[in-house]
C-alpha cells in the first residue's frame, strides 16, 4: 500500500495531476461524468471516473512543490498510473501574458529537490515527446510551447535564465521522477502571475483557463 495515498476507488492508468486540491475538484466536475473521490488522505484530493467518451481517468492533487509532487507520483505509479499530464500554474516573465497556456518543452532545475531524482541543478528534464506534441495540438492554437524553470521556493520569474519564459515549483523534479518510474508525462501551465506577483490572474479567468487546459489533457489521455 502506498504511504501517502489511501485510495477508496480504483485509479485509472491515465491521470491529470494538479497541485491544488480545489483545482482537482474543479476539473473532476468539468471532465468526468460521475466523479468519485478516490483519495482524501493528507488533503490530497483525488477523483476517478470516466470521461463522456467512456475513458477511465483519474484527477489527483499533488500538493505544493517538487518533493510533494514526486512522492505522490511514486504512489500513483504503484497504484497503476502509466500516463499523466500536469495541469499547473506558473509565474511568467515579460514575454508572456496572464492566462497564457504554456506546453512545456523542457524544464530547467533551479532548486535542489530535482537532484534526489537524478537531475542536477542547472540541467534540464524533458517530457514525453508524443504526449507533448498531442497536447499542443489539442489546445488548437490556444497555447505555446516553452521552456520553464523550476524553483524550490516561490517561482522567481524575475530571475529566469535566457530562453525560459516562466517558472514554477514542480515540473523539473516531476519530469525527472517520471523518467525514473518509466511513466509518460506532459505538462501544461497557466500563467497566473507576472513580474513577481505585481499582476495576478483573477479567480474567474483562472478557472476558465484551468478548464481549457484540462479539456486538452482529457483529449490527449482519451486516445
Give the alpha-carbon dihedral of 79, 167, 193, 23, to 10 degrees: 0
The grid coordinates of residue 23 equal 483545482
**pLDDT, the chain, mean:** 92
Which of the residue ranges 12-16, 37-41, 185-189 would you say has the lowest mean pLDDT?
A: 37-41
CA 192, 140, 107, 22 dihedral sign is: positive
Q: Residue 1 corresponds to which cell in the numbers above? A: 500500500
Q: What is the pTM of this model?
A: 0.94
Name the residue with higher pLDDT: 158 or 159. 159
pLDDT for res 18? 98
Q: Tell me the C-alpha distance between 147 and 13, whole Å.
A: 27
Evaluate whether 78 touches 2 at the Cβ level (below 8 Å). yes
* Per-residue pLDDT, 41: 81
The CA distances from residue 212 to 9, 151, 189, in Å, are 26, 25, 11
Structure confidence at residue 156 (pLDDT): 67
User: What pLDDT score was predicted for residue 47?
Assistant: 97
Question: With bands split at pLDDT 50, 70 and 90, how would you rate the model's confidence at 157?
Answer: low
Cell numbers for 3: 504511504
**Which CATH code fits 14-221?**
3.40.50.1580
Residue 51 pLDDT exceeds 90: yes
Q: How far is CA 145 from the centre of its chain?
A: 15
Domain limits of the chain? 14-221
Cell digits of residue 173: 523534479
Query: Which band of pLDDT confidence, cut at 50, 70 and 90, is reported for residue 196?
Result: low
CA dihedral (104, 94, 152, 28) positive or negative: negative
Amino acid at each position: 500500500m502506498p504511504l501517502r495515498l489511501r485510495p477508496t476507488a480504483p485509479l485509472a492508468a491515465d491521470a491529470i495531476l494538479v497541485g491544488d486540491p480545489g483545482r482537482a475538484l474543479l476539473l473532476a466536475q468539468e471532465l468526468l461524468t460521475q466523479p468519485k473521490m478516490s483519495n482524501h488522505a493528507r488533503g490530497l484530493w483525488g477523483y476517478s471516473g470516466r470521461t463522456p467518451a467512456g475513458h477511465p481517468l483519474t484527477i489527483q492533487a499533488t500538493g505544493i512543490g517538487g518533493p510533494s509532487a514526486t512522492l505522490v507520483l511514486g504512489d500513483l505509479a504503484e497504484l497503476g498510473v502509466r500516463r499523466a499530464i500536469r495541469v499547473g500554474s506558473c509565474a511568467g516573465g515579460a514575454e508572456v501574458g496572464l492566462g497564457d497556456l504554456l506546453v512545456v518543452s523542457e524544464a530547467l532545475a533551479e532548486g535542489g529537490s530535482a537532484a534526489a531524482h537524478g537531475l542536477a541543478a542547472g540541467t534540464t528534464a524533458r517530457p514525453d515527446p508524443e504526449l507533448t506534441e498531442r497536447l499542443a495540438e489539442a489546445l488548437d492554437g490556444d497555447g505555446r510551447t516553452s521552456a520553464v524553470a523550476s524553483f524550490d521556493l516561490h517561482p522567481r520569474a524575475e530571475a529566469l535564465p535566457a530562453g525560459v519564459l516562466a517558472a514554477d515549483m514542480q515540473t523539473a523534479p516531476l519530469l525527472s521522477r517520471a523518467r525514473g518510474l518509466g511513466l509518460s508525462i506532459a505538462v501544461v501551465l497557466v500563467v497566473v502571475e507576472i513580474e513577481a506577483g505585481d499582476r495576478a490572474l483573477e479567480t474567474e479567468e483562472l478557472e476558465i483557463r484551468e478548464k481549457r487546459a484540462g479539456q486538452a489533457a482529457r483529449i490527449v489521455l482519451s486516445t
